[in-house]
């Protein structure tokens, strides 16, 4: 791809009039419903991170995510014919501009400049240095997010940074978000290079958008002339900057295999659902508490390998079983082969909530893997999806759940206090708890079947 910064470029109204991606980015979905513990944002030059990912940086830093900004070059080659700034002087200016921008977006972020030569980055030299930076944070693990320029951005340094990040993401099993910068300049909505089927949009809140624009102003060496002399002209023209005034940012996500996928890929039955008497007994108790023999449409959240799913399918005209792990869903699909109206589907709850109405919603051993906000979202969606004669079955482990915000009792209490539903039945013992909720009034089985 050949272009220069002072080409006319594609006007922003072309993109806004012919935008072709409806996908929305949920960072939490990359981490099994949680925010990352750490985010590492890679920039080829000072200002890339602000142009492509300032809103994301602000959101994650504001939420308490440990934030590292790693800048490959000082950007010293942006004005090669400047009569007023040597490359070293310009590199110093751009470093200070980035520090000021990051201070505005994420005051506690750590900024690291690698000092590689501007204009001649290679993925091979960068990957080793990035690996050191990732290791130096001391918190690299399954909840580290890597953010970098897009590998197809058309700028050699951006593409080198993107390829290096992609190599490390694959090597370390980290989710990767790539942000385009120059794509919006050289491409058009019809260009085959635009990865419409991969793009995901992160909608920015008002303060995130405002701070992004303020942070961009910190990069004055790029957004305004260095001087009135020839060679000191503005690098980033107003028409180019208009692409970054949108109310959203755009990323190409590459998910990692999440904790639940790794769990199911490493074991045919990671929870012992088939072999443990504890699990068999718990299922029997839960199924015995159901107030009807059959249901029209059942929704099961967090089906794992489908052991409970098969028993629910036997009592349901239709069943939709959801799980975030493709391996788990594949196992459930095989287990449901004898039930033609039973389906297993990969989904991340609550954002992938299915359409339709259900007269049985089963939430078993999955509620504590959600954040409090996500659980309250699930409660609202359950209530909206619940048929007039619908039943909600909650079943959860009552002992501590390490590494997650909620525990089983908190899940049940939040559900009961937030949903306008009545308690039909409840069972509680040291190890687990079951609650059945219905639209009020709760009518006993004896009364509803004519025994009383």
Q: Taking a C-beta distance cutoff of 8 angstroms, is the pair 443, 452 a contact?
A: no
Using the predicted structure, report yes or no on whether residue 439 has a pLDDT greater than 60.
yes
For residues 239-261, give the mean pLDDT: 91
By CB neighbour count within 10 A (0-12 exposed, 13-18 middle, 19+ buried), where does 399 fall?
A: exposed
Q: Is the pLDDT of residue 187 over 90?
A: yes
Residue 96 neighbours by CB under 8 Å, 6+ apart: none
Q: Are 68 and 41 in contact (CB under 8 A)?
A: yes
pLDDT in tens, 76-98: 999 999 999 999 999 999 999 99
Number of H helices, E strands in the chain: 16, 14
pLDDT higher than 80, residue 8: no
Q: With a cut of 60, say whether residue 138 has pLDDT above it.
A: no
State residue 408's pLDDT score. 96
* Average model confidence (pLDDT) across the chain: 94
- Is residue 142 scored above 70 in pLDDT? no
pLDDT of residue 352: 85
* CA atoms of 222 and 215, how far apart (whole Å): 12
Provide the 8-state DSSP code for 143: T
Residue recorded with tokens 């501009």: 97
The dihedrals phi and psi of 244, each to the nearest 5 degrees, come to -105, 20
The b-or-e profile of 129-147 (16+ CB within 10 A means b, else e) is: bbbebbeeeeebebbbbbb
Dist. CA 256–CA 271, nearest whole Å: 22
Region 365-374 average pLDDT = 90
Query: What is the pairing mode between strands 316-323 and 386-397?
Result: unpaired
Q: In the structure, what pLDDT confidence band is assigned to residue 374 with cuts at 50, 70 and 90?
A: confident
Q: Which of 193, 237, 196 is nearest to 1 (CA)?
A: 193
pLDDT at 2 over 70: no
Query: Which is it for strands 38-43 and 66-73: parallel, antiparallel or unpaired?
Result: parallel
Domains and CATH numbers, the chain: 12-256 (3.40.50.10320), 260-448 (3.40.50.150)
Token readout for 121 is 């980055």
Structure token pair of residue 412: 């049940």
Share of residues in the chain with pLDDT > 70 (%): 97
The number of residues in the chain equals 452
Give me 78's structure tokens.
Answer: 């942006």
Task: Calculate ∠ Cα 254-258-264, nearest 5°.
Answer: 130
What's the pLDDT band for 450 if we cut at 50, 70, 90? very high
Query: What does the pLDDT read at residue 5?
Result: 63
Rounded CA gap, 73 and 161, in Å? 10
pTM above 0.75, yes or no: no
Q: In the predicted model, what is the mean pLDDT of residues 176-201? A: 94
Per-residue pLDDT for 258 more than 80? no
Owner of token pair 């120059």? 182
Which bin fits 438, alpha (ψ -120 to 50), beta or left (φ > 0)?
A: beta
Mean pLDDT, to the nearest integer, of 412-441? 98
Q: Which of 133-147, 212-226, 342-356, 384-398 has the lowest mean pLDDT?
A: 133-147
């Amino acid at each position: 791809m050949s272009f220069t910064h002072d080409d006319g470029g594609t006007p922003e109204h072309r993109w806004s009039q012919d935008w072709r991606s409806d996908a929305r980015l949920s960072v939490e979905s990359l981490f099994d419903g949680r925010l990352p513990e750490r985010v590492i944002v890679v920039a080829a030059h000072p200002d890339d991170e602000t142009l492509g990912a300032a809103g994301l940086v602000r959101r994650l830093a504001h939420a308490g995510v440990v934030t590292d900004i790693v800048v490959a070059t000082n950007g010293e080659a942006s004005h090669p014919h400047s009569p007023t700034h040597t490359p070293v002087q310009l590199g110093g200016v751009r470093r200070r501009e980035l520090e000021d921008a990051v201070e505005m977006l994420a005051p506690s972020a750590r900024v690291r400049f690698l000092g590689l030569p501007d204009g001649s980055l290679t993925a091979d030299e960068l990957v080793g240095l990035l690996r050191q930076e990732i290791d130096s944070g001391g918190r690299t693990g399954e909840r580290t997010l890597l953010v970098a320029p897009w590998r197809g951005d058309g700028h050699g340094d951006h593409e080198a940074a993107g390829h290096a990040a992609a190599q490390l993401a694959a090597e370390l099993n980290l989710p990767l978000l790539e942000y385009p910068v120059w794509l919006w300049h050289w491409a058009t909505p019809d260009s085959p290079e635009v990865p419409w089927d991969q793009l995901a949009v992160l909608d920015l809140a008002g303060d995130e958008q405002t701070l992004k624009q303020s942070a961009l102003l910190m990069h004055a060496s790029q957004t305004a002339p260095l001087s009135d002399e020839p060679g000191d002209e503005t690098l980033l023209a107003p028409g180019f900057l208009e692409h970054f005034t949108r109310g959203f940012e755009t990323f190409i996500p590459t998910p990692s295999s999440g904790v639940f996928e790794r769990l199911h890929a490493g074991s045919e039955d990671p929870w012992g659902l088939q072999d443990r008497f504890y699990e068999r007994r718990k299922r029997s108790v839960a199924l015995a508490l159901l107030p009807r023999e059959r249901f029209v449409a059942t929704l099961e959240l967090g089906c794992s390998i489908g052991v409970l799913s098969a028993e629910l399918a036997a009592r349901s005209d239709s069943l939709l079983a959801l799980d975030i792990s493709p391996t788990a869903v594949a196992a459930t699909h095989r287990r449901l082969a004898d039930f033609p109206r039973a389906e297993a589907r990969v989904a991340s709850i609550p954002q992938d909530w299915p359409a339709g109405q259900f007269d049985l919603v089963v939430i078993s051993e999955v509620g504590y893997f959600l954040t409090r906000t996500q659980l309250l979202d699930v409660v609202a969606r359950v209530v909206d999806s619940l048929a007039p004669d619908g039943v909600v079955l909650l079943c959860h482990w009552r002992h501590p759940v390490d590494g997650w915000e909620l525990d089983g009792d908190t899940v049940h209490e939040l559900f009961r206090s937030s949903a306008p539903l009545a308690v039909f039945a409840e069972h509680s013992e040291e190890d687990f708890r079951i609650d059945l909720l219905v639209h009020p009034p709760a009518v006993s089985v004896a009364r509803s079947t004519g025994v009383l």
